[in-house]
Amino acid sequence: MMKLRSAICFGLSALALAALAFALPAGAADKIDPVADAKAFKKFFYDKFPKLKPEDFVNGPYSMDEGLHKQWVEKEQFPPYEFAVEAGKEMFTKPFKNGKTYEDCFPNKGIGIRQNYPYFDEKEGKVITLELALNRCREANGEAPYSYVKDEMAALTAYMAFTSRGKPMDIKIPDDPRALAAYEQGKEYFYTRRGQLNFACSTCHVQSPGERIRTEVLAPALGIMNAMPIYRSEWSGMGTTSRRYVTCNSQVRGVPFNPQDDEYRNVEYYLSYVSNGLPISGPGARP
Amino acid sequence: MASTIRVRATNNGEITEVQALIQHPMDSGFVKDSKGEIIPPHFIQQLTFEYDGKPVFVADWGGGVSKDPYVKFAFKGGKKGDELKVSWVDNKGATDSNTAKIG
Amino acid sequence: MSNTESKLSRRVILQGAGAVALLGLGSMSLGWPAFAAANDKYPAEAFKQKSDADAIKALYGKTAEASDKIKLDAPEIAENGAVVPVSVATTLPDVTSISFLVAENPIVLVASYRIPAGTVPSVANRIKMAKTSKVTVLVEAGGKLYSAGKEVKVTVGGCGG
Inform me whether the pLDDT recorded for C9 exceeds 50.
Answer: no
Using an 8 Å Cβ cutoff, are A143 and A96 in contact?
yes
List all residues 6 or more positions away from C12 whose beta carbon is below 8 Å from its beta carbon.
Answer: C143
A124 closest CA partner among A134, A136, A115, A116: A136
Min Cα distance C4 → chain A (Å) is 39
Output the DSSP codes for C76-145.
SEES-TT-EEEEEEE--SSEEEEEEEETTSSS-EEEEEE--TTB-SEEEEEE--SSSEEEEEEEEETTEE
Using an 8 Å Cβ cutoff, are B52 and B82 in contact?
yes
Provide mean pLDDT across the span C3-32. 39
Q: How far apart are CA A91 and CA C40, in angstroms?
A: 41
Residues of A in contact with C157 (CB under 8 A): 214-216
Q: How far apart are CA C143 and CA C16, in angstroms?
A: 10
DSSP state of B32: B
CA distances (Å), origin C104, targets C34, C139, C151: 23, 20, 11
In degrees and rounded to multiples of 5, residue A118 shows phi and psi of: -80, 160
What pLDDT was estimated at residue A19?
54
C86 closest CA partner among C97, C104, C96, C71: C71
CB atoms within 10 A of CB A185: 18
In degrees and rounded to multiples of 5, residue A97 shows phi and psi of: -60, -30
Residues of B in contact with A236 (CB under 8 A): 67
What pLDDT was estimated at residue A20?
61
- Do residues A6 and A134 both lie within one domain? no
Given the DSSP bridges, would you call strands C122-127 and B70-76 parallel, antiparallel or unpaired? antiparallel
Let me know if A248 is a catalytic residue: yes
* CATH number where A41 lies: 1.10.760.10
What integer best gives the mean pLDDT of chain C? 81
What pLDDT was estimated at residue B15?
97
Provide mean pLDDT across the span C32-52. 72
List all residues 6 or more positions away from B85 whose beta carbon is below 8 Å from its beta carbon.
Answer: B49, B50, B51, B97, B98, B99
CA distances (Å), origin A205, targets A191, A218, B44: 10, 7, 39
E strands present in A60-195:
119-121, 126-128
C161 to chain A, any CB pair closer than 8 A? The answer is yes
Q: What is the mean pLDDT of each run of 10 residues along chain A (287 residues)?
A: 50 55 50 96 98 97 95 94 96 96 97 98 97 98 98 98 98 97 98 96 96 91 98 92 96 95 98 98 94
Length of chain B: 103
Min Cα distance B77 → chain A (Å) is 23
Domains and CATH numbers, chain B: 5-101 (2.60.40.10)
- Do residues A66 and A185 both lie within one domain? yes
CB atoms within 10 A of CB B25: 15
- Do residues A194 and A254 both lie within one domain? yes
What pLDDT was estimated at residue C29?
35
Last residue of a domain, one of A136, A163, A190: A163
- Do residues A17 and A37 both lie within one domain? yes
- Do residues A186 and A280 both lie within one domain? yes
Last residue of a domain, one of A143, A163, A183: A163
Using an 8 Å Cβ cutoff, are C135 and C112 in contact?
no
- Structural domain count of chain A: 2
A114 closest CA partner among A284, A285, A286: A284
Min Cα distance B2 → chain A (Å) is 10
* Nearest residue of chain B to residue A77 (CA atoms): B19
In degrees and rounded to multiples of 5, residue C130 shows phi and psi of: -70, -35
What pLDDT was estimated at residue C26?
37
C111 closest CA partner among B9, A237, B47: B47
Three-state SS at A226: helix
DSSP state of A81: T
Inform me whether the pLDDT recorded for C6 exceeds 60.
Answer: no
DSSP state of B27: B
Three-state SS at B99: strand
Q: Tell if the CB–CB gap between B60 and C127 is shorter than 8 Å.
A: no
What pLDDT was estimated at residue C90?
98
* Nearest residue of chain C to residue A69 (CA atoms): C79
For chain C, what are the domain ranges? 2-154
- Do residues A277 and A206 both lie within one domain? yes
- Do residues A94 and A141 both lie within one domain? yes
A286 closest CA partner among A63, A2, A23, A31: A63
Closest to A80 (Cβ–Cβ): which among B19, B68, B72?
Answer: B68
Three-state SS at A136: helix
**Domain boundaries, position A50:** 2-79+172-286
First to last CA, chain C: 49
- Do residues A183 and A250 both lie within one domain? yes
What pLDDT was estimated at residue C38?
37
Last residue of a domain, one of A144, A163, A182: A163
Q: How far apart are CA C75 and CA A70, in angstroms?
A: 8
Query: Which portions of chain B are predicted below pLDDT 70?
Result: 1
Residues of B in contact with A82 (CB under 8 A): 6, 21
Which entry of A9, A105, A137, A248 is annotated as an active-site residue?
A248
- Do residues A71 and A188 both lie within one domain? yes
List all residues 6 or more positions away from A60 whose beta carbon is below 8 Å from its beta carbon.
Answer: A219, A220, A223, A224, A227, A284, A286
**Considering only the top CATH level, what class is C2-154?**
mainly beta
Q: How far apart are CA C12 and CA C14, in angstroms?
A: 5
What pLDDT was estimated at residue A214?
85
